Amino acid sequence: MRNVPASADTKAHWESVFQTRQPTEVSWYQPHLRQSLDLIHEAAPAEDAAIIDIGGGASTLVDDLLAKGFRSLTVLDISRKALEVAKARLGPQAGQVTWIAGDALTAALPAQRYDLWHDRALFHFLLTPEDQARYVAQVRDAVKPGGTVILSTFGPQAPPRCSGLEVVRYSPDALERAFGGTLRLVSSTTEQHQTPFGKTQEFVYCRFVKADQRGRFSPPQDDATGDVSRRLRMTRAAETSPL
């Protein structure tokens, strides 16, 4: 079962969300994506690393990455309105970012381009094996071998719906399994997100490394032994301050 039968309907849903609500009024709003920023910091990309935020919406992650000096940033979202909100907020700095208005499942992304792929709360909307496979194929094709993939979804204790749409809830291990050997889990964090309406939603954040061209996983720079994911894996409970 899909949330909606076609990309046009997915787009209509999200355009309507961003046209009718202020960015601070959506359930997933955070002034700063602190858990994402922490995992990006952990991955330690170079300032010229190619970073893409998939389903970035109107979030401030791009603002914070620009402020940290990252120079090769792309934000992709199916909602043009969401991207307009982010661009307007950034003002002239928006010109330093590549903006892609498109569907994450079908957008033509440059091959093996991105050092770091970030997605907070898009992947969990993909309900069918077909759509999940399309997303995995995009990661396989667009992320550099050995690159970093940071994914955040609703966790096992979260509500079954987000933005009125059914979601798949993942533990870190389940998320790793969903990528069928393409990604290996390095670390994960759980967050009890407080929505602007006073509800709590469990988000899981995971940092993965993508396999290299031979399907192998090289150790991250801070791990000399090669036993990458199991030793480094950690789960921290973190809470955002109420809005």
Ligand X SMILES: C[S@@+](CC[C@H](N)C(=O)[O-])C[C@H]1O[C@@H](n2cnc3c(N)ncnc32)[C@H](O)[C@@H]1O
Closest CA to 18 of 66, 55, 63: 55
In the shown chain, the binding pattern of residues 61 to 100 toward ligand X, with x for contact by CB under 6 A and - for none, equals ----------------xxx--x------------------
With CB under 6 A as the contact rule, the residue among 52, 85, 122, 211 that binds ligand X is: 122
In the shown chain, the binding pattern of residues 101 to 120 toward ligand X, with x for contact by CB under 6 A and - for none, equals --xxx--------------x
Kindly state whether residue 203 participates in binding ligand X, applying the rule CB under 6 A. Answer: no
Q: Which residues of 176-207 are buried (b: 16+ CB within 10 A; e: fewer)?
A: bebbeebbbbbbbbbbebbbbeeeebbbbbbb
DSSP symbol at 106: T
Closest CA to 189 of 118, 121, 239, 124: 239
Euclidean distance between CA atoms 31 and 162, whole angstroms: 18
With CB under 6 A as the contact rule, the residue among 43, 50, 52, 57 that binds ligand X is: 57
199 versus 231: smaller Cβ distance to ligand X:
199
Asked if residue 112 lies in contact with residue 145, where contact means CB atoms within 8 angstroms, the answer is yes
And the tokens for 166?
Answer: 């059914």
With CB under 6 A as the contact rule, the residue among 70, 125, 154, 203 that binds ligand X is: 125
With CB under 6 A as the contact rule, the residue among 45, 56, 147, 172 that binds ligand X is: 56
Window 6 to 35, contacts with ligand X (CB under 6 A): 10, 14, 28, 33
Kindly state whether residue 49 participates in binding ligand X, applying the rule CB under 6 A. Answer: no
Q: Quote the Cα angle for 172-174-177, to 5°.
A: 110
Asked if residue 65 lies in contact with residue 46, where contact means CB atoms within 8 angstroms, the answer is no
CB of 213 to ligand X, least distance (A): 27
With CB under 6 A as the contact rule, the residue among 39, 43, 59, 185 that binds ligand X is: 59
Residues lying near ligand X in the complex (CB under 6 A) are found at 10, 14, 28, 33, 55-57, 59, 77-79, 82, 103-105, 120-122, 125, 162-163
